Structure 1
Amino acid sequence: MFTEERQSAIEKCLRENGKVKVKELSEMFQVTEDCIRKDLKILENAGKLKRTYGGAILSQDYPLKRDVVDRRQFNLDKKRTIAAKAFKLMKNNETIFLDISTTNIELAKLLATSNMRVVVVSNMIDILQILATNPSITAIGTGGTMYQTVNGFMGAATIEVIKQYSFDRAFIGSCGVDMTDCAITTLGVEDGLTKKAAVHSSRHKYVVMERDKFYFNDSYKYAYFDDISGIVTDEFPDDTIVSTLERAGVKLF
């Protein structure tokens, strides 16, 4: 098979499955893994895909770069699964930080319908509005510069407020994991610095994200595996990734 034919076949696999793995492609086409990596690099340069840890995904179809306000209904079942797991980690009388995250919106709904007595600080307006319906919950907004695309606050003023707190637990959103650098990523610097402040101000810090995000990373690294307590996800990733996380001391929920 010629190089161009193999690359076309790889594109077809991507369209059918959403992602591919280097090892599987190597076995499928009977070529070395280095050869497949070169194919993926060429296809990435052509804008056909986004390379990830151990493979690639269809970058143009991946939903992570949508505005938060457009992602509320996306993968809703998965987000509810993650929220249910995260809710079980909370305890009465704790002070909790809920980051800008559509998964955290679902977590806020569970809190609002519960009997828990907690203080919740958040920089997302949706979350604050949900929590305000329960008189047992003290909901505190960070304020700061308002970003319409996320319906929340980010940046220097928000960070200064977050730094004044000592949270028992923080639940932080993510746009993906860079398995090569063992880093948790997000889209931009303002969001990244705000998340970083929440991580530093919390005793227990959990990243809430769907399984698919283990195979994708974005532009800003706001934390490393050493910085977090665990990752709450709807379904565990591949064994290779699970082993890497275990070696780094990151617990999966």
Structure 2
Amino acid sequence: MFTEERLEAIEEKLQKDGKVRVKELSELFQVSEDCIRKDLKILENGGKLKRTYGGAILSKDYPLERNVIDRKGYHLEKKTVIAKKALDLINDNETIFLDISTTNIKLAELLAESGKKLVVVSNMIDILQILARSPSITAIGTGGTMFSSVNGFMGAAAIEVIKQYSFDRAYIGSCGIDMTDYSITTLGAEDGLTKKAVLQSSRHKYVLMEKEKFYFNDSFKFAHFEDINGIITDEFPDKDIIEALDAAGVRLV
């Protein structure tokens, strides 16, 4: 099979299944995995797909292009599963941090209904508004520079406030994981440095993310596996990722 024919076949499989894996394509076309990776790079350069860890997904299915306002209704069922798992880990009288995250919006809703007695610090306005409804929760905003794209505060001023706290538990959003160096990523430096400050001020540190985010990453690395205690997700990823998490001492919830 010529390269052009293989590229066309890969694109057809993507359109049908929404994603492809390097190993499976290598076996299907009887070529090396390196050859398939080159094919995927060609297709990515042409805007046909987004390469991920071990494969690729359709460009139109790549959710990181959405801002926070757009993502509120995206994968809502999965976010509810994650939020319920996160809620079960929280004890009365804890001080916790809820990072800018659409999953944390759902967690805030569950907390407001739970009756748990907590102090909750957040840099996201949506979360603070929800928590303010609960008489048992003291909601504290970081303040700082307001970013309308996330409806929250990021940057130096917010970081200075975060540094003054010692959180029992922190729940951090992520745009994906880079499995080549086990880093946890987000969209940009302002958000990444703010998340990093939260991790440094917390005892129990959890990243909240859907299963699909194990297979792609964004531009700014704000932490590595050794910097967190666990990842809370809707479904467990592939075996090789689970083994890497286990070797790094990261709990998968």
TM-score (norm 1): 0.98
Alignment: residue pair count: 253
Residue correspondence of structure 1 range 1-253 to structure 2 within 5 A: 1-253=1-253
Q: Deviations over 1:160-195 (max 9, x none)?
A: 111111100000000001011100000111111111
Q: Deviations over 1:58-110 (max 9, x none)?
A: 23431222110111111000000000000011111110000000000000001
Q: Deviations over 1:211-233 (max 9, x none)?
A: 01001100000000000000000
Distance 2:221 2:19 in 1: 23
Q: Deviations over 1:105-136 (max 9, x none)?
A: 00000100012101000000000000000111
Question: How far off is 1:55 after superposition?
Answer: 1.0
Distance 1:61 1:123 in 2: 28
SS at match of 1:172: strand
Q: Which amino acid aligns with 1:38?
A: K
Distance 2:204 2:188 in 1: 24
Runs of 5+ unmatched residues, structure 2: none
Cα pair 1:65 1:187 within 8 Å, conserved: no
TM-score (norm 2): 0.98
Cα pair 1:206 1:230 within 8 Å, conserved: yes
Cα pair 2:231 2:250 within 8 Å, conserved: yes
Question: How far off is 1:31 after superposition?
Answer: 1.0
Question: Which stretch has the larger CA shift, 113-122 or 57-66?
Answer: 57-66
Cα pair 1:177 1:184 within 8 Å, conserved: yes
Distance 2:34 2:137 in 1: 54
Cα pair 1:7 1:43 within 8 Å, conserved: yes
Distance 2:249 2:118 in 1: 28
Distance 1:59 1:163 in 2: 38
Q: Deviations over 1:37-66 (max 9, x none)?
A: 111121122222222211112234312221
Distance 1:209 1:30 in 2: 35
* Identity between Structure 1 and Structure 2 (%): 74
Distance 1:113 1:61 in 2: 33
Distance 2:205 2:64 in 1: 22
Cα pair 1:172 1:208 within 8 Å, conserved: yes
Runs of 4+ in 1 over 4 A off after TM superposition: none
Distance 1:152 1:47 in 2: 31
Cα pair 1:204 1:229 within 8 Å, conserved: yes
SS at match of 1:171: strand
Distance 2:13 2:196 in 1: 37
Backbone CA RMSD of aligned residues: 0.9
Distance 1:158 1:225 in 2: 24
Distance 1:24 1:227 in 2: 33
Cα pair 2:20 2:57 within 8 Å, conserved: yes
